[in-house]
Amino acid sequence: MRRFMCSLLLVIAGCGGTPSAPSSASAPTAPADSTPRGSDSGGAIALTDDFGGRQLFPADNWWNQDISTAPVDPQSDAYINFIGRTRGAHPDFGPPPYGIPYAGVSGGQARIPIAFVDYGDESDSGFRGENGYPVPDAARSQPNFIEGGVAGGGTSGDRHLLLVDRDRWVLFELFAARWNASRSRWEAGSGAVFDLSSNTRRPEGWTSADAAGLAILPGLVRYDEAMRGPVRHAFRVTVRSTNGYVWPASHRAGSTTGALPMGARLRLRSSKDVSRYPAYVQNIFRAMQVYGLIVADNGSDMYVTGSMDSRWNNAELNPSFAALTAADFEVIRLGWR
């Protein structure tokens, strides 16, 4: 299971069998798929939606919290040593099938019941009494709605499916999503629904669509944000092993002595000069200095998660990220808020 075993897949992927972007990838010429698609209810579906530049979650949410002056944890050096001081960072995103896709839907998008096959007792059936998730019919037959790029999800990898109801401002996230044609139903390992206007955490001890019990979408490196200017939120990062959890996480996925807990924050040192990188990469790295990285899952060390988007240029991203090593980061005081 991903929450305990994805550290075994380090060579293959950042986590769960989804391949990381190849170091030799060149920039595709095709634009990102943001073409509106008709839904059964007449609403519009937009892949790689920028939500009109609207911030996900309130300004004082943990994803949006400025940690540039937060105190360093007394065990920061030990945690960095556990990762390996020379370990380079890696962009765990790129053109399809790399990275995690997401889509915006209208408030009229039909809600589809989800059969939770692993963590049903820690999953949300819907939002405020309305059963189901707004999964478009197109996700059954078209690729790139679900992480991994397989239409309908397939059977391998983490298969995250992220959907935002733009009208109600609600985020729906599924882990291990798949269309089970033989049973004519959507299935998932777990699922969580987040009111994007609220700072409500998951119940203590609960997972979400992510091992740490956090929302995934607000922690993605997104193309539209990086190109627009300063990025004003933290990013999701994985490490090979974890040990318990601290705020803002709500769920543990390991107990390895010496490892960081879920919810821990790494901050790129302010002394790190990022001025030599392309402007959009500078925006990403400066966000790491101000908002940091939040440990959200077990996977490859220092793999920073981003959106699946055909506009990413991994020929620029991979060497830029690799120039950042774990030693360029510090761990802020665990559970600081």
Report pLDDT digits (tens) over 185-218: 999 999 999 999 999 999 999 999 999 999 999 9
The rounded percent of the chain whose pLDDT value lies above 90 is 84
Residue 207 placed within a domain: yes
Given a cut of 50, whether residue 265 has pLDDT beyond it is: yes
Counting the structural domains of the chain, the total is: 1
Output the pTM of the full model.
Answer: 0.89
Given a cut of 50, whether residue 254 has pLDDT beyond it is: yes
The rounded percent of the chain whose pLDDT value lies above 70 is 87
Residue 324 placed within a domain: yes
Say if CB 167 and CB 107 are below 8 A apart. yes
Given a cut of 90, whether residue 1 has pLDDT beyond it is: no
Strand partners, 259: none
Residue 91 parent element (H or E):
strand 90-94
Burial of 254 (0-12, 13-18, 19+ CB in 10 A): buried
Residue 20 placed within a domain: no
Residue 337 placed within a domain: no
Residue 108 placed within a domain: yes
The pLDDT tens digits of the residues spanning 298-311 come to 999 999 999 999 99
Residue 179 lies in domain: 2-11+29-331
Say if CB 151 and CB 91 are below 8 A apart. no
Residue 48 has a pLDDT of 79
What band does 120 get if pLDDT is binned at 50, 70 and 90?
very high
Given a cut of 70, whether residue 231 has pLDDT beyond it is: yes
Residue 75 placed within a domain: yes
Highest mean pLDDT among 36-40, 50-54, 74-78: 74-78
End-to-end CA distance of the chain: 31
The pLDDT tens digits of the residues spanning 54-112 come to 999 999 999 999 999 999 999 999 999 999 999 999 999 999 999 999 999 999 999 99
